């Protein structure tokens, strides 16, 4: 994505805003994938309901630890803690969750994305094929089934998505192909706070397949635009920063970062109208 990067450098930036080191947290990420190895609505619109009919277990008790926003979500009766990094959604919380999911679907569907669903439980072999079994070691939940086969709870779905498409794309007419899912991911992460870094969490992950790099660049920009519209639609203040590809591989990676009260990275961002350029202290 040289073009995109160059474009950024050419933009005239307004005054810079420096975040408080503690107020930035990742809002999501967008990853450029290469063409040979991967690195992406159903109608879940929530029906109307009377407030008095809704089971809403509000509470004045503050859940030990955690940050303000999390405590407010607990007290508002939207979520309940199930132990470090694990959360359950109440009926009210699930309605909010479904609304967010619906907006994500709308954004991806509007650029031709097609939703799929892959198993979260996976065999080790596929991860050894891709060479990533060891990469996720420590962060990946692994288990053995009763037949002694080693399996994992998928922390990511590149392997799965390739398997879903392997041998199924018959001609150039099938390409480009943009598929996505909104399902659970599992990572044995050190629970950071609230719903941001969990051991089990819902991720919207999209993957695209192309015949050439030009097509990949086009889709990358389409997805980037969809993410911008979705973030704006959700009312989030956000900045787009260059990011590391880390274990996901690929050649370009950008992260959408939203300021929060208690974050983990520092952000420098341009304050010019409509300019989303920023740099985080994770990637300089």
Contact residues toward Zn ion (CB under 5 A) are 13, 270, 272, 275, 277
- Least Å distance, CB 77 to Zn ion, is 41
- Least Å distance, CB 256 to Zn ion, is 16
The nearer residue to Zn ion, 90 or 280, going by C-beta atoms, is: 280
Helices (H), 166-252: 213-233
The nearer residue to Zn ion, 16 or 37, going by C-beta atoms, is: 16
The nearer residue to Zn ion, 5 or 82, going by C-beta atoms, is: 5
- Least Å distance, CB 278 to Zn ion, is 9
The nearer residue to Zn ion, 13 or 80, going by C-beta atoms, is: 13
- Least Å distance, CB 165 to Zn ion, is 38
Tokens 């992406």 belong to which residue? Answer: 40
Residue-wise burial string across 193-228, b where 16 or more C-beta atoms lie within 10 A, e elsewhere: bbbbbbbebeebbbbbbbeeeebbbebbebbbebbb
CB 266 within 8 A of CB 10: no
- Least Å distance, CB 260 to Zn ion, is 22
The nearer residue to Zn ion, 136 or 277, going by C-beta atoms, is: 277
Please give the Cα distance from 174 to 34 (Å, whole number).
Answer: 17
Please give the Cα distance from 157 to 169 (Å, whole number).
Answer: 18
CB 108 within 8 A of CB 178: yes
Nearest to Zn ion by Cβ — which residue?
Answer: 270
């Amino acid at each position: 994505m040289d073009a995109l990067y160059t474009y950024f450098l050419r933009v005239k930036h307004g005054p810079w805003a420096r975040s408080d080191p503690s107020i930035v947290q990742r809002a999501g990420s967008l990853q450029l994938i290469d063409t040979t190895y991967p690195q992406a609505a159903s109608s879940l619109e929530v029906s109307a309901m009377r407030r008095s009919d809704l089971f809403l277990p509000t509470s004045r008790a503050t859940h030990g630890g955690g940050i303000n926003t999390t405590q407010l979500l607990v007290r508002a009766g939207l979520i309940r803690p199930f132990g470090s990094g694990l959360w359950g959604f109440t009926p009210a919380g699930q309605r909010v969750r479904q609304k967010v999911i619906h907006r994500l679907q709308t954004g991806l569907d509007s650029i031709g994305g097609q939703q799929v669903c892959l198993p979260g439980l996976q065999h080790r072999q596929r991860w050894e094929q891709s060479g990533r079994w060891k990469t996720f070691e420590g962060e990946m939940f692994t288990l053995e089934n009763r037949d002694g086969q080693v399996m994992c709870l998928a922390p990511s779905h590149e392997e799965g998505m390739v398997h879903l498409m392997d041998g199924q794309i018959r001609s150039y007419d099938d390409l480009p192909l943009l598929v996505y899912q909104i399902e659970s991911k599992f990572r044995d992460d050190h629970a950071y706070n609230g719903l941001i870094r969990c051991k089990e969490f819902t991720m919207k992950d999209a993957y695209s397949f192309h015949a050439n790099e030009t097509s990949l660049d086009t889709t990358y920009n389409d997805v980037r635009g969809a993410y911008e519209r979705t973030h704006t639609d959700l009312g989030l203040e956000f900045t787009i920063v260059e990011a590391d590809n880390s274990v996901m591989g690929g050649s370009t990676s950008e992260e959408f970062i939203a300021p929060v009260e208690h974050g983990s990275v520092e952000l420098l961002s341009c304050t010019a109208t409509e300019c989303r350029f920023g740099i985080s202290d994770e990637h300089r």
